[in-house]
Structures are given as structure tokens and as C-alpha cells.
Chains A and B, each alone.
Chain A
């Protein structure tokens, strides 16, 4: 996250920069949204409106795309996003217990953001690192072979 979601001017600039980088064509829509989501942390209405104007795509269609994909979010998220793999390969090697430990530690349900805006806890489908399950990802850091007892020390690394 490098851009403040409340700063309308820099959001517009970010959109224009992304469109300039990928080109104003419809097949670049998802790469553009991916990049904006990375920079702003989610896709605020101002960003979608500006993409709509730049690409000449109706805002309704943009919203339908932005709300479809798991890596795009139309709502603000926490400073750190925890993605916990809930697919079968992680589940059968102890994922269930790790998930419980995460919930106990953070007091959040799936998809919730903590009141102080620090954490968002999400379950995700397979992350493709199944050889070392249970797997979780915090922002872009990957943790494999996670034990329930390690959860609190992993979380403590993030401020």
C-alpha cells in the first residue's frame, strides 16, 4: 500500500499512471485493477470512476469485475491481510487447528477487519504451495508448515 485512499488527487494520478503503463484497452482491465488494488489496498469508488472514464467502460461493469475476483476488494481492508488456506490438502494436515489459533488470537471471523484497522483475516482457496501445508500468507509473505503454537509469534512480527 503506497497511496492513501482518502487522497482523491493521488488516486486519480495512480489510475492514469496504471492506464498509461498497461494501455487503455479492455483486455488490460484486470491487470490495471490488480495494480491499483496493490497500491491503494482496495478499489475505492473514485478509482473505479476514473478507470471507467479512462477506459470508456461503464462503471457498473467495472464494479461487477471488481467484486468478482478474490484479489480485488471494493471495501477497505486492514493494514495487514492474512490469507489462510482452507483447501483440503492444508485442512487434513492440521489446518483446522491453525485456523482456530488464528481466530483465538485475533478474535475475528472470516472476512472481518479488526477495529483498529490492523488486521484483515480471510480464508482463501489453495495458494499452490501445498507441499508445506498448512499454509498462510500475510501480505506477500508465505508461511508454511505452520503449527498452532507458532501463530502468535508470527503475528508479532507485524506492526
Chain B
């Protein structure tokens, strides 16, 4: 039943501004699981996600991608992982359509109808050609979230996906994550929202230990 872990962290340690955020942190992320990183503000959730995404190099320990050190095959890692951060990656001057097209172009280009469908799926139907700066903060995040409806990457790293999203949207994202996990995707989220999905793995930060 257990499949090979996609991403494995061994004795991860990170120090930031001369403060130890976490040490001896070990966990593995298996396809078909949802992992939630928990901890109070400033406990290093975002830092951990940036490290896992490959944005930050300020760590020691070992990160294995499909059983091999990630540094050996960064290209395959980048191709197979999707990171959504605090900043949505949306250009305010471009329309949702253009933004989504540009974001997908380097990963898996899809037809415009698929993009429009994804935008409609996040409740942005009718806004396809409005510049994003005219949209609300929540709508801008929804543009970024529309990627999740098209993305094929087996590993998703989502930082605070529920920020600025209304209650109905939160439910929809929960359902999407649930469905993704059932399809065999691996999802790692940080959130303060009380997310409860069956079989959820938790990583607790702030005390410095991982709890599986």
C-alpha cells in the first residue's frame, strides 16, 4: 500500500536571524497524502515551505527527491512540484487570462478554453479580461488558485492558501485538496484555518519536533 516517498527530509535544521527555527526535523511526503504544517506565527512554516520548494538555501540536513539527493536532479524536482506562496505571482497590469497563460507557459501550456474553464471554476467567470489590479485581494488569489485546477505536478506546496478566500471558497479548496489526494497527489499546506481531512499528516513547528 505504501508507495515510495516523493520528498524526504532528514535532520533538517534552519537558523534565521540567529534564532533556531527547527532542528532534527525529519518527515517524508508520500503520494496520496495531505500534510499540514502547524505552528504559531514566526515558527518557520513559510521558511520550511520555501526550503522545500527550493527557494531558500539557508538550511542544513538532507532533502531527498524520489530517494536521491535533490541537488542531483533539481530540474526533475522543479518540473514535478508546484509552489504557491504568500505573494500570488499575479501581475496587476495583466488580465487573469494573461496571467494564467504566462504562469502555465513554462510548465504545461494548455488551450485558452481550459484556462477559461479553470477561471470559471474559481468563480472568476466574466473577469477574464479585467486587469487584475481592478480585482479584490481574494479574487487575485483565486487567479493563482486557478492553477490548481489545471496543474499536473505530483507535489503541491501551498503556503496559506485560504488567505482572503470566502467561506464557500474555502470549502471548495478543501474539496479540491481532498480530491487531489485521492487521485494520488501529495499536498503540503500551511494554514491557520482549521483543516481536518482524514489521514492527514501533521508537522508541528515551534517545539522543534515532527509529529507523524
The yes or no verdict on A and B being binding partners is no
Instruction: Show the binding face of A for B, using Cβ within 8 Å.
Output: none
Instruction: Show the binding face of B for A, using Cβ within 8 Å.
Output: none
